[in-house]
Amino acid sequence: GAGVSQSPRYKVAKRGQDVALRCDPISGHVSLFWYQQALGQGPEFLTYFQNEAQLDKSGLPSDRFFAERPEGSVSTLKIQRTQQEDSAVYLCASSGGVNTEAFFGQGTRLTVV
Amino acid sequence: SQQGEEDPQALSIQEGENATMNCSYKTSINNLQWYRQNSGRGLVHLILIRSNEREKHSGRLRVTLDTSKKSSSLLITASRAADTASYFCATHSGNTPLVFGKGTRLSVIA
């Protein structure tokens, strides 16, 4: 596709439920990033992949958050036992390199009820 | 944590006026980027300025960078209603991913 694609666009989860958010990056982009954006705030870094290697996961808020990119393309962000404070927009971005411009998807809005 | 801090937090102007947003950051950088976000949408890259550059233009956008003051400004000239959005600065330091500020919410009134 022409851009970064994220699915689903919206997700409502009951507290305690597990969720999986998908990101399809731009073809050929080696770098992939996940960000979390709370309402009215800037995106906060969660984790970063270069190809299939997860190089930085320092932003993941707890061990309930897990991300993978097994074949160096599609990535999945999984949140286990969701809590209300996990409600946010989760943004995925890809780039040709870590120091270049990043292309963002439309995000997944997660609401935990 | 957020490295960049935009100022003002919110800005309201009339169509046709210029809008200026400022960004300050804390550590040395490789480059600084500006992004726009329309309500409920993803971020769109506007412009990238490297640490050895002082000014860059793209259409109605002008970005300046002062590394001695650790600050940048984004100027949008002849604003339009369609420029209404949140604007974020983001910095690259070393090999770390982009770190974003909290953004400036711009409203352009027709």
* Residue whose token pair is 């801090």: B5
B40 vs A contacts (CB less than 8 Å): 109
Closest CB to A102: pick one of B45, B96, B101. Answer: B45
CB A46 within 8 A of CB A60: yes
* Residue whose token pair is 């411009």: A101
pLDDT of residue B2 exceeding 70: no
Tokens for A37? 């954006």
Q: Could you give the 3-state DSSP secondary structure of residue B81?
A: helix
DSSP bridge partners of B86: B37, B105
pLDDT along chain A (113 residues), means of 10: 90 98 96 94 94 95 97 97 97 88 95 98
CA distance B42 to A33: 13
CA distance A49 to A73: 10
B15-62, pLDDT tens digit by residue? 999 999 999 999 899 999 999 999 878 899 999 999 999 999 999 999
Alpha carbon B21 to chain centroid, angstroms: 6
Provide the pLDDT for residue B95: 76
CB A76 within 8 A of CB A68: yes
SS3 content of chain B, % helix, strand, coil (to 5): 5, 55, 40
Average pLDDT rounded to a whole number, residues B81-100: 91
Is the CB of A101 less than 8 angstroms away from the CB of B88? no
Tokens for B104? 């400036």
Confidence of residue B3 (pLDDT cuts 50, 70, 90): low
Cα of B17 to nearest chain A Cα, Å = 25
Q: What is the mean pLDDT of chain B?
A: 93
